[in-house]
Amino acid sequence: MSDEDREAPTPKQSGSFGIMLSICRDSKLDLERWLPSVPQPIEKRVIELIQEFKKLSVRVQGWTIDTPQESKRATVDLILELRAEAQGFANRYGYKLR
- Number of Cβ within 10 Å of residue 8's Cβ equals 10
Q: What is the pLDDT of residue 1?
A: 44
Task: Check residue 14 and give its pLDDT.
Answer: 62
pLDDT at 12: 55
- Tens of pLDDT, residue by residue over 34-53, are 999 999 999 999 999 999 99
| pLDDT value at residue 15 | 75
Nearest to 26 by CA among 64, 62, 56: 56
pTM for this model (two decimals)? 0.83
Task: Please give the pLDDT value at position 88.
Answer: 96
* pLDDT for the residue numbered 87: 96
Residues (pLDDT < 70) of the chain are 1-14
Q: State the maximum Cα–Cα separation within the chain, in Å, rounded to a whole number.
A: 57
For the chain, how big is the Rg over CA atoms in Å?
A: 16
